[in-house]
Amino acid sequence: MIDYTERIPNNVDLASDKTLQRALERWQPAFLNWWTDTGPASSSQLQVYLRTAISVDRDGWANFGFVRMPDYRWGIFLVPRDDNRSIPFGDHQGQPAWQEVPGEYRSTLRRIIVTQGDTEPASVEQQRLLGMTAPSLYDLRNLFQVNVEEGRHLWAMVYLLQRYFGRDGREEAEALLERRSGDANKPRILTAFNDPIRHWLAFFMFAYFTDRDGKFQLASLAESGFDPLARTCRFMLTEEAHHMFVGESGVARAIQRTCEVMRDHKVNDPAQVRALGVIDLETIQKFINFHYSATLDLYGSEVSSNAATYYTTGLKGRASETKLTDDHKLASAEYTVHEVSGGRIVPKPVPALTALNARLRDDYIREIQAGLDRWNRIPAQLGVPFRFALPHVGFNRRIGAFAGHHITPDGQVLSEADWKSHQQDWLPSLDDHAFIESLMGRVVEPGKFANWIAPPVRGVNNQPVEFEYVRFN
């Protein structure tokens, strides 16, 4: 169980390590200042129906109740240590999992933790203004739940930095509160985390596509030979599942509403659909194209010697490493990646060890496609002929084998001129963003929803949909 009598709730017996406890208690007010400055705008007085972790068990870890967000009990929760755990892959396979940082991997491991940690506050900053245009109290509550949990994910990484990396770790923990999403001088580390999320369609897409990248990165770190990292990532994964649910169900509800309006008014033309105050399916497809391609860049280059090193040294595994049945060393295995050659996209077998980014990305794509298939059942059920499709993996890429090439959604290689003349058909334009922003307006009456989105099938924690999820006084 988690100790909530402490100033910093935790299940790591923080009280027995006074130096660490003092370091974290010094970081805590800086975190709260960061939350006030860059967290959800105008939210500090609201009472929000939030869940808080009460234990790290798979079932029943969450306790629901009304909380003012600055009073949320951010803390440090790791799944319990398994003293028999061994390193499941790489050169150290079979050795006892590390309980302290191996000296030779110290800087690499610190960089992995900092890069993951940096995405957590970044996403809170990106989503700062969304509460002002929430389509319902239900959605406002879900946004805030995601935000407080991303804040907790920052705590998870900062604990590792402060507990295991000494002075460098403390400096990195401070720097995590100093960088800002979109700031030209001190931006967040990864590109996809520097664009503001301007409206709720983008938020739901981000939670579907980009939080799911988070899931896969955490799943591979949950296999790490560095046991405290593995244990903290395992608990973070339980929170990430909710973020992906918010994204998938949010997009589904927008599709549902649009298809209902198309059916009721017998319209198909995007301009007529827009005139009825809902988001045309063609525009939703463009947002799928954008968020999917931007998120694929987060996996890095398909072929990467860094990825190979992380694996052989036991720092970062594959998703579900312990369930895979190969040698867990990949000494002679191959994996097929794709590249552009002679104006065409061709397959290329490479050593599997170097293709671990591509492999993790391909695992991700399978899950993304399954969700897209679920979205496609909505127009099918409502008699609307439109179907969504994922663009080619090379479409709109900035990183890896397709960077610098112009690939259509169906995988044709184009000249730059041809790409430029078609780009607005495939990616959201400023006008598309402006149209969607024109639909956004805050709806705060319990049980009411903005015109562009359908109500959810059920409420939170068995509460009715019309429950007052956020109280304004």
Residues in contact with Fe ion by the rule CB under 5 A = 120, 150, 153, 211, 214, 240, 243
Rounded (10°) angle between helices 211-221 and 106-126: 160
Identify which of residues 231 and 243 has a Cβ nearer to Fe ion in the complex.
243
Q: Which residue has 């900053």 as its token pair?
A: 125
Identify which of residues 172 and 432 has a Cβ nearer to Fe ion in the complex.
172
- Name the minimum Å distance from CB 237 to Fe ion: 10
Q: Which residue has 């595994």 as its token pair?
A: 317
- Name the minimum Å distance from CB 211 to Fe ion: 4
Residues 6+ apart with CB under 8 A from 90: 225, 311, 312, 313, 314, 317, 328, 329
Identify which of residues 240 and 302 has a Cβ nearer to Fe ion in the complex.
240
Identify which of residues 200 and 452 has a Cβ nearer to Fe ion in the complex.
200
Q: If we measure between CA atoms, which residue out of 166, 170, 128 comes closest to residue 35?
A: 128
Identify which of residues 281 and 319 has a Cβ nearer to Fe ion in the complex.
319
Q: Which residue has 């969607």 as its token pair?
A: 436
- Name the minimum Å distance from CB 124 to Fe ion: 9
* Distance set, CA 258 to CA 19, 250, 350, 434, 451 (Å): 56, 13, 44, 18, 9
Q: What is the residue type of 415?
A: S
- Name the minimum Å distance from CB 170 to Fe ion: 22
Distance CA 155, CA 117 (A): 8
Identify which of residues 210 and 396 has a Cβ nearer to Fe ion in the complex.
210
- Name the minimum Å distance from CB 453 to Fe ion: 21
- Name the minimum Å distance from CB 119 to Fe ion: 7
- Name the minimum Å distance from CB 240 to Fe ion: 5
- Name the minimum Å distance from CB 160 to Fe ion: 14
Relative to beta strand 47-53, strand 470-471 is antiparallel
- Name the minimum Å distance from CB 150 to Fe ion: 5
Identify which of residues 211 and 321 has a Cβ nearer to Fe ion in the complex.
211
Identify which of residues 120 and 248 has a Cβ nearer to Fe ion in the complex.
120
Identify which of residues 79 and 273 has a Cβ nearer to Fe ion in the complex.
79
Q: If we measure between CA atoms, which residue out of 221, 232, 234, 231 comes closest to residue 314?
A: 221
